[in-house]
Structure 1
Amino acid sequence: MAIAELEVQSRSALGKSAVKKMRTEGLVPAVLYGEEVEPTPLAVNEHTLNRFFEKYGQSMLVSLASGDNNKDEERLAVVKDVQYHPVTGRVSHLDFYSIRIGVPIEVEVPLSFEGKAEGIAKGGLLQPIRRSLEIRCLPREIPEMLKIDVSALDIGDAIHVNDLDIAGIEFVSPVNFTIVTVQAPKAEAEPEAEEVEVGEEAAEEVAEEAEE
Structure 2
Amino acid sequence: MGKHVLRADKRPVNTKHTVRELRKKGYVPGVLYGSKIGNIPIKIAERDLSRVGGAHVIEVTLPQGSYPAVIREIQKHPVNGEIHHVDLQQVDLNKKIRTEIPIQVTGTPVGIKMGGVLQLGERSVEVEALPAEIPDYLEADITALEIGDKYTVSDLQKTTPLKIISELDSVIAVVVAPRTAETIEEEQTAPELPHGDPVVENGQE
Q: Indicate the TM-score class for this superposition, using the shorter chain for normalisation.
A: 0.7 to 0.9
Letter in 1 for 2:141: D
Partner of 1:205: none
- Matching of residue 107 in structure 1 with residue 102 in structure 2: no
Give 3-state SS (helix, strand or coil) of 2:181's partner.
coil
Q: State whether residues 58 and 68 of structure 2, in contact with CA within 8 Å, keep that contact through their aligned partners in structure 1.
A: yes
Deviations 1:35-79 (A, max 9, x none): 4441211101123323x24xxx3223211112x223xxx301111
- Aligned residue runs from structure 1 range 186-197, under 5 A: 186-189=179-182
Paired residue total: 185
Task: Indicate whether 1:10 and 2:3 are aligned.
Answer: no
Q: How far 1:146 moved relative to its partner? A: 0.8
Check if 1:81 corresponds to 2:76.
no
Q: How many angstroms does 1:32 deviate by?
A: 1.1
Q: Which residue is 1:44 aligned to?
A: 44
Q: Normalization by structure 1: what TM-score? A: 0.78
Change (3 A) 1:18 1:116: same
- The answer (yes or no) to whether the contact 1:29–1:42 under 8 Å persists in 2 is yes
SS of 2:148's equivalent in the other structure is coil
Q: 1:63 maps to what in 2?
A: 59
- Structure 1, unmatched stretches of 5+, are 194-212
Alpha-carbon distance in structure 1 between the residues aligned to 2:116 and 2:147: 6
Listed one character per residue, the Cα deviations across residues 65-109 of structure 1 (whole Å, up to 9, x for unaligned) are: 12x223xxx301111111111233211001111111111112221
For residues 107-136 of structure 1, give each alpha carbon's deviation from its aligned partner in whole angstroms, at most 9, with x where no partner exists. Answer: 221112223322112111221112221211
Q: Tell me the alpha carbon deviations over residues 135-157 of structure 1, each in whole angstroms, 9 at most, x when there is no partner.
A: 11111111121111212211111
Distance 1:155 1:14, change over 3 A: same
Matches for 1:122-161 after TM superposition, within 5 Å: 122-161=114-153
Distance 1:35 1:180, change over 3 A: farther
Cα displacement (A) at 1:159: 1.6
TM-score under structure 2 length normalisation: 0.81
Q: CA deviation at 1:28?
A: 0.6
The offset of 1:23, in angstroms, is 1.6
Secondary structure of 1:130's counterpart equals coil
Runs of 4+ in 1 over 4 A off after TM superposition: 190-193
- For structure 2, the residue ranges without an aligned partner over 5 or more in a row are 187-205
* CA 2–192 in structure 1, closer or farther in 2 if over 3 Å, else same: closer
Q: Secondary structure at the match of 2:13?
A: coil
Q: Which residue of 1 aligns with 2:199?
A: none
Tell me the C-alpha RMSD between the 2 structures: 2.2
Q: Which structure: larger Rg?
A: 1
